[in-house]
Structure 1
Amino acid sequence: MFATVLLVMLPFVWFGMVTAISFIETPLKFKAPGMTHALGVGIGRLVFKVLNIVEAALSVLIIGAWTQQQGLVTMPAGILLAIAAAALALQMLVLRPAMGQRTKALSDTALTHTGSTAVKAKVATATHVSYIVSEMLKVAALPLAGILIVLELAA
């Protein structure tokens, strides 16, 4: 029964976390009064590192629950969950490390400037766009997977 609850709940929890952080908090952070680009990037590095760790834990819990309740995860739901997990793996193993090197260099550069000197960076690098696309994949796949699991449970 606990595995069933996890399979129903966790895709929606994961979806909510990604939506709240990636598509609400992150863009708004840079509009806050007094927020510098370097500070926003530094906060983002920390937040996304922790978010990815929590997402990985959720992914492991979902996979564990799936092994206990295999009948609830149909092929389409399984594909959607696999897409979310693959997007997360791409982020953690390839995209975030590459972005981390760049944002660390940006932060280090910003710290060497004083006064009103603004340090701006081109945000829309290919890596950054790829990260956003991978977030969009998760935001599309997770609630659909959750809905399919709920429908299978109700059947």
Structure 2
Amino acid sequence: METLFNQIQQLVADKIEWLDRNVDEDYGQLDMLYRDDEDSDTYPLTFPLVLINIPDTSWTSMGGAFGKVQSGTVTVSVKLAMDCYDDTHFTSGTADKAQERADKVHELHSLLQGWMPMHSSSPLDRKTSRSQTMTRGIKVYELNYECRMIEDANQI
């Protein structure tokens, strides 16, 4: 289970060239962009970027000695953040920039949907998606997936 983040990070970094391997764990970097205090120290963000979080897993014991083998339904959140400095109103001449962003979201989703992680008993399956517009011209597309993982606490 602990390797799931690394597997997804490697997959996205290797397969989506325009990201320039800009894939990280989501630990609130986007929220820290808007704070100006001593607790918001983080390295500068480069866009586009993908942030991965595994916020929730529901576990069920499957058996084995002392219930050491478990099956978990894992929630995986993948955010694609892009800067949106292009004028996309209809007569701007650059209205296609909005479509380019939509195409990138679709490429990311196409890579993840149905992908089978190691130690899983089901592939990633998208459950929800949403977009959020942030100040400073940042748009965040969030894709939430589920899969089932099997973990044996006896194995390292």
Superposition TM-score tier, normalisation by shorter sequence? 0.3 to 0.5
TM-score (norm 2): 0.32
Structure ranking higher on relative contact order (CA contacts 8 Å, 6+ apart): 1
TM-score (norm 1): 0.32
* Between structures 1 and 2, the one with greater strand share: 2
